[in-house]
Amino acid sequence: MRYAASNPINFYKPDPNNPWDQNPVGPLALPGNYTVTLSKVEDGITTELVPAQPFSLRSLNLNTFTATDKKAYDDFCKEVSELRRVLGGTNEYRNEIGNKLKFIKQALIETPSTTPALVKSLNDIQVRLNAINLKLFGDGSLAKREFETAPSINDRIGVVEYGMWNTTTAPTGTFRKSFAIAEKELKQVIADLKSIGADMQGLENTLDQLKAPYTPGRMPFAK
């Protein structure tokens, strides 16, 4: 029994023939008393079919090193889950900006009234986005050549998440330290992405003024 996953929504269907290809899951739920209900939704109307039914979740007590403070274990797992939610959304937002940049670049090429200043603005945004990519995912160029690289934000959270989602042992000091570092670094990345997003909006407004071809996420305004 697990809590709900906090990963970004997607419609990927795992390969049923691959036991390692699975949908995201949340942390293990603590033993205790819970309830389950059953409802149907039709034409936007929710109808309860079965009212809340109680059930108990119990531990098999097969642990070698179990957490003595169950609440502290559960609280840390929830903190990791929340940071995973924020990190997943940050990754997707970064992808959306990167995709927009690709289309905007082509739109600038195909717009006769494009100026050198606009081209430089686009390049500056790309440079800033590349720096964010490095913080989020690490140096892929070095990694694929088998050089040691510093752990990225995704690396840190991924290791902590994998470790906590598959054990009921108390979080280690290394996990807590790695979580704190990732949390701090992610806050700066989010601030940088917000700044890039604002600059992107200004660039898109200029594109529309220049009557540039449509690019994703940009609503054209007719006179």
Residues in the chain, total: 223
**151-202: per-residue pLDDT in tens?**
999 999 999 999 999 888 899 999 999 999 999 999 999 999 999 999 999 9
For residue 149, which of 131, 134, 130, 132 has the smallest C-alpha distance?
Answer: 134
pLDDT value at residue 223? 66
Residue type, 123: N
* Structure-block tokens of residue 95: 């992808």
DSSP classification of residue 107: H
Residue type, 56: S
Contact 86, 189 (CB under 8 A): no
Give the separation between CA 88 and CA 181, rounded to whole angstroms.
Answer: 17
**125-140: per-residue pLDDT in tens?**
999 999 999 999 998 8
Provide the pLDDT confidence category of residue 32 given band limits of 50, 70 and 90. Answer: very high
- Count Cβ neighbours within 10 Å for each residue of 178-193 and write b for 16 or more, e otherwise: bbeebbeebeebbebb
For residue 212, which of 124, 123, 113, 116 has the smallest C-alpha distance?
Answer: 113
Provide the pLDDT confidence category of residue 142 given band limits of 50, 70 and 90. Answer: confident
pLDDT value at residue 153? 96
Share of the chain above pLDDT 90, in %: 77
Contact 65, 42 (CB under 8 A): no
Alpha helices in the chain (DSSP H): 70-109, 116-137, 140-143, 153-165, 173-209
**39-92: per-residue pLDDT in tens?**
999 999 999 999 999 999 998 877 777 778 889 999 999 999 999 999 999 999
Average pLDDT of every residue of the chain: 92
Residue type, 207: L
pLDDT value at residue 86? 97
Q: What is the mean pLDDT of residues 109-126?
A: 94
The pTM (predicted TM-score) of the whole model is 0.88
pLDDT value at residue 146? 83
- Count Cβ neighbours within 10 Å for each residue of 195-207 and write b for 16 or more, e otherwise: ebeeebeebbebb
pLDDT value at residue 192? 97
pLDDT higher than 70, residue 205: yes
- Angular region, 205: left φ>0, alpha ψ -120 to 50, beta rest: alpha
Q: What is the mean pLDDT of residues 12-35?
A: 91
